[in-house]
């Protein structure tokens, strides 16, 4: 979730997948992805991936946030939504609160790849003024899990794109989403209370940590007192400086994810146990140590997220 920190055809034994160029699509009422293979360009702002688009003709950027369960949420501080109705409130992973409203109809949301949604019904919005001020002044809203839940996706920070692949039996046989790729590791994950939050087991120099994958943040580490002392004394976790907001940044060595992938990460934010209370409560997490994998990790590799098979493929650039 967002933190500031923002916490086919088959013939015989052969399977043939046909991919046609994406044509402009106009879809009605429900903001969910359609088509076989669909690619969106992304823009990176401070490590956050955004999909450009327009709402009712107003140009802006939607944060692609796997930590959000909803399909789309709009920023009513950027786009005028005069007919909104109160729907309560919410809280970000780092504790910022915001009000939410329900919009009976949104006339049009259009993306730069030609996909257009019209007459959308029951779309939530919120007052995300703090994101406008801190990250980007044209923040239009979020795209979350329900938008793409029937798809695998490959996110490529280097080439600035996300490609979605419709889940289907033939695709799992052909694995066309791996064509031309070098697979470094296949990470098995678990799903807990929230179906959009992949959990992985990892160790940092032998210390057990629960890892969460989330595109809506840069990445953070929270350790209990004993683990922090042990890893600091060994020089495994060291302070590398502070960011522009005054948050402590860490370099972390000897990370082993799922017993398969070894990594070193730099620029990871240090957070306290108290700073993880929101996500702990929402996701039902009880592990003593937590680490999130956002931009600091995802920018080092291409990754394919397969919620159906509960796997993340880590690919070489």
- For residue 65, what are its two tokens? 């946030």
Q: Same structural domain for residues 99 and 208?
A: no
Place of tokens 């903001």: 31
Q: Which of 230, 225, 218, 240 is nearest to 291 (CA)?
A: 218
Q: Are residues 15 and 158 in the same domain?
A: yes
With H, G, I as helix, E, B as strand and everything else as coil, classify residue 117: strand
pLDDT on residue 2: 44
What is the mean pLDDT of the segment spanning 258-282? 95
Number of domains in the chain: 2
pTM value surpassing 0.85: yes
pLDDT at 248: 97
**In this predicted structure, what is the pLDDT of residue 99?**
87
Residue 130: inside a domain, yes or no? yes
**Domain stops at, among 118, 133, 164:** 164
Lowest mean pLDDT among 3-7, 15-19, 65-69: 15-19
Q: What is the pLDDT of residue 126?
A: 94
Q: Are residues 74 and 32 in the same domain?
A: yes
Q: Are residue 157 and residue 199 in the same domain, yes or no?
A: no
Task: Verify that 136 and 17 share a domain, yes or no.
Answer: yes
Whichever domain contains 248, its CATH number is 2.40.70
The residues near 174 (Cβ < 8 Å, ≥ 6 apart) are: 15, 17
Asked if pLDDT for residue 13 goes beyond 70, the answer is no
Under a CB-based contact definition with an 8 Å cutoff, are residues 64 and 54 in contact? Answer: no
Q: Are 74 and 140 in contact (CB under 8 A)?
A: yes
pLDDT tens, residue by residue, 134-184: 999 999 999 999 999 999 999 999 999 999 999 999 999 999 999 999 999
Q: Retrieve residue 60's tokens.
A: 């802006």
What distance in Å separates the CA atoms of residue 303 and residue 317, rounded to the nearest whole number?
A: 10
C-alpha 4/C-alpha 272 separation (Å) is 14
Question: At which of 133, 164, 195 does a domain end?
Answer: 164
In a domain, 3, yes or no: no
User: Taking 50 as the threshold, does the pLDDT of residue 17 lie above it?
Assistant: no
Is the pLDDT at 225 greater than 50? The verdict is yes
Q: Give start and end residues of each alpha helix (H) in 211-261.
A: 225-233
Cα dihedral 186, 188, 193, 197 in deg (nearest 10): -10
Residue 314, pLDDT score: 98
Quote the pLDDT of residue 12: 35
- pLDDT value for 7: 41
Specify whether 28 is located in the same domain as 58: yes
Residue 239: domain span: 180-315
State the greatest distance between any 2 C-alpha atoms of the chain, in Å, as a whole number.
Answer: 61
85-91 vs 58-64, strand pairing mode: unpaired
- Note the pLDDT tens digit of each residue in 182-196: 999 999 999 999 999
| Per-residue pLDDT, 95 | 62
Q: What local confidence, expressed as pLDDT, does residue 59 receive?
A: 98
pLDDT tens per residue across span 62-105 = 999 999 999 999 999 999 998 899 988 777 665 677 789 999 88
Q: Assess if residue 100 is contained within a domain.
A: yes
């Amino acid at each position: 979730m967002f933190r500031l920190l923002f916490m086919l055809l088959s013939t015989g034994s052969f399977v043939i997948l046909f991919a046609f160029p994406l044509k402009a699509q106009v879809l009605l009422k429900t903001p969910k992805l359609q088509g076989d293979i669909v690619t969106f360009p992304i823009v990176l702002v401070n490590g956050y991936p955004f999909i450009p688009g327009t709402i009712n003709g107003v140009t802006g950027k939607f944060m692609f946030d796997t930590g959000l369960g909803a399909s789309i949420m709009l920023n009513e501080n950027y786009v005028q939504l005069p007919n909104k109705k109160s729907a309560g409130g919410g809280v970000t992973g780092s504790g910022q609160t915001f009000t939410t409203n329900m919009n009976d109809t949104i006339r049009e949301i259009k993306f730069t790849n030609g996909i257009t949604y019209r007459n959308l019904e029951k779309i939530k919005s919120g007052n995300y003024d703090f994101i406008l001020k801190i990250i980007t002044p044209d923040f239009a809203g979020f795209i979350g899990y329900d938008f793409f839940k029937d798809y695998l996706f490959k996110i490529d920070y280097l080439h600035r794109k996300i490609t979605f692949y419709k889940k289907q039996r033939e695709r799992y046989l052909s694995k066309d989403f791996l064509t031309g790729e070098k697979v470094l590791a296949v990470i098995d994950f678990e799903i807990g209370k929230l179906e959009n939050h992949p959990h992985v087991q990892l160790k940092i120099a032998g210390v057990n940590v629960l890892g969460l994958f989330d595109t809506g943040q840069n990445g953070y580490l929270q350790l209990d007192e004993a683990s922090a002392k042990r890893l600091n004394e060994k020089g495994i976790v060291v302070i590398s400086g502070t960011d522009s907001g005054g948050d402590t940044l860490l370099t972390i060595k000897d990370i082993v994810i799922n017993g398969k992938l070894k990594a070193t990460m730099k620029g990871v934010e240090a957070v306290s146990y108290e700073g993880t209370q929101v996500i702990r409560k929402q996701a039902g997490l009880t592990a003593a140590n937590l680490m999130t994998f956002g931009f600091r990790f995802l920018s080092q590799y291409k990754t394919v997220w397969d919620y159906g098979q509960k796997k993340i493929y880590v690919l070489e650039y």
